[in-house]
Amino acid sequence: MPELPEVETVRRGLLPHLEGQRIAKLTLNRDGLRWKFPVDLVQVATGATVTGLRRRSKYVLLDLDRDASILIHLGMSGRMLIEGQGVGDFHRDPSILPRHDHVVIETGSGTRITMNDARRFGMVDLIRDDASPMLDGLGPEPLGDEFDGARLAAAFAGRKAPVKALLLDQRVVAGLGNIYVSEALHRAGIDPRRAAGRIGRKRLDDLSGHIKDVLVEAIAAGGSSLRDHRQASGELGYFQHSFRVYGREGQECPRSGCGGKIRRIVQSGRSSFWCPNCQR
């Protein structure tokens, strides 16, 4: 599932093609994906102008000039395709099958934005005033000023749960997933199994900084392409080439002077990659 860097990369790719544009036509090629589409989605969106594009956690929001927003989640395999500047001027990877084109937005300038989702775990909703059960209770954005070691210390206080599990809890911090939590914990030298409430404040300050650094670097690289992720331009992300631990089981730890080997363990049904030699 795309994590914060992948979703932010998609948002930035869509921004110049949608912001300020009028939605001339919105086509739904089925009645829903993970859930049914809102019955008034086409009516509200058609003719509306996109006033802005935002990201909240792992969601993209298209703000409309009708006091409503289109909420998009890419699920496991969703892609947003940008095709041409006019009818007939479309270019797409032939491996991306048109039968998986489920939502199509055509702008007044002739650009076509398509949500293609082979597995159909994505979602598209229409919300007002950011009122959605998908957004309720989300924690702070990790790239925002409100996220720091103090925020982690408050969330972790007295908690016996592993730090890895709590960092994946969207109520603690929004947008983090398996890849970037594993990478940040390695940079911070923290064992993913360690009880969150037993991590000192200085280490939490360092951890919050490493989380920000990993995310910024991943966004700059266009995210990580392991299976389905593509940037809105169709290009792959490249941060997977910078992984220090994720997917590197049995390989030597990249930390200078460590000499340990990367291991994989399963926590709450998810793989955690870590170095037992330098992560304590």
Residue of 55, 56, 58, 112 marked catalytic: 58
Q: Which of 34, 194, 261, 270 is catalytic?
A: 270
Catalytic residue among 2, 5, 142, 192: 2
Long-range CB contact pairs, 111-114, < 8 A, 24+:
111/17, 111/21, 111/82, 111/83, 111/84, 111/85, 112/82, 112/83, 112/84, 113/14, 113/17, 113/18, 113/80, 113/81, 113/82, 113/83, 114/80, 114/81, 114/83
Are 79 and 104 in contact by the 8 Å Cβ rule? The answer is: no
Q: Catalytic residue at 3?
A: yes
Active site residue 270: yes
249 noted as active-site residue: no
- The phi and psi torsions of 96 (rounded to 5 degrees) equal -90, 105
Q: Dihedrals φ, ψ of 176, to 5°?
A: -75, 150
Is 141 marked active-site? Answer: no
Residues annotated catalytic, as ranges: 2-3, 58, 270
